[in-house]
Amino acid sequence: MRQIVLDTETTGLSAEMGDRVIEIGCVELLHRKLTGSHLHFYINPERNSDEGALRVHGITDEFLRDKPKFAAIAQPLLEYLRGAELIIHNAPFDLGFLNKEFERLGLGPVQTQVSGVIDTLAMAKELFPGKRNSLDALCGRLEVDNSGRTLHGALLDAELLADVYIHMTRGQNALGIDVGASEDASSADADLPPMDLSLFVLPVLACTAQELAAHTEVLADLDKASKGKTLWHRCEPQPDAQAA
């Protein structure tokens, strides 16, 4: 499977309000390993960056003045992405900006050119509920070395995200360009018999009455704090429905 890990930097936070893409970084995974193929552009946004955005990425307006405009890199970018599965941290943000740029050129959204999109932020929220799930936080939690990241940069962030993604999906311990595994190891893996998971019986641990009471108390406190707006409260069967 071909996957592209993508990140952008922008002039601000709102594509709808006129903010533009200033940097795009992409790295390629093939069968979950870095291939060494990457794509990287700095882009002249034809406007200045907000002060807040500048503090994040450090890419000055002066630096971008002689860089190509998005129209010049649109087709090479689409050709690189075409048919791949995209991996993006907070995908709605990056896709919103890219789709707005393509819309200005009379082109369709990115999603029509790729096989799918994985949002690693949504994935991280499911894996680590209630915790910080920024790229930096995930690097620290998953022991991915981000010591070279003092400012945000699209290509560096894409490389870090690729490693984070592999760790989150538990496919391998780390990323590296595959220069050919040993034939002995490959043949040994091929000789391993398939594992029949149906032979494993998972234990089911029932909660005690005390644990159930404590759980009910926590839910009641959350419901009170939200003034009755918790989803489980709304989904409880109503008396009329129970009677029916």
Mind telling me the catalytic residues? 152
CATH classification at residue 159: 3.30.420.10
Where is the domain boundary, 137, 159, 179? Answer: 179
What is the tens place of the pLDDT at every residue in 83-99? 999 999 999 999 999 99
Predicted local distance difference test score (pLDDT) of residue 218: 82
Does residue 172 sit in the same domain as residue 120?
A: yes
Does residue 123 sit in the same domain as residue 223?
A: no
Predicted local distance difference test score (pLDDT) of residue 240: 56
Does residue 116 sit in the same domain as residue 15?
A: yes
What is the tens place of the pLDDT at every residue in 127-168? 999 999 999 999 999 999 988 776 678 999 999 999 999 999
Count of domains for the chain? 2
Tell me, what amino acid is at 209?
A
Q: Is residue 186 part of a domain?
A: no
Does residue 26 sit in the same domain as residue 98?
A: yes
Predicted local distance difference test score (pLDDT) of residue 238: 57
Predicted local distance difference test score (pLDDT) of residue 184: 46
Does residue 169 sit in the same domain as residue 223?
A: no
- d(CA 131, CA 123) in angstroms, rounded, equals 12
Task: State the greatest distance between any 2 C-alpha atoms of the chain, in Å, as a whole number.
Answer: 72
Where is the domain boundary, 138, 164, 179? Answer: 179
Q: In terms of residue numbers, what domain contains 218?
A: 209-237
SS3 90: coil
Does residue 173 sit in the same domain as residue 219?
A: no
Does residue 137 sit in the same domain as residue 222?
A: no
Q: Is residue 199 part of a domain?
A: no
What is the tens place of the pLDDT at every residue in 180-233? 444 444 444 555 666 666 666 667 778 888 888 888 888 887 777 777 777 766
The pLDDT confidence band at residue 119, using thresholds 50, 70 and 90, is: very high
Predicted local distance difference test score (pLDDT) of residue 183: 44
pTM of structure: 0.70
SS3 27: strand
Q: Is residue 165 part of a domain?
A: yes
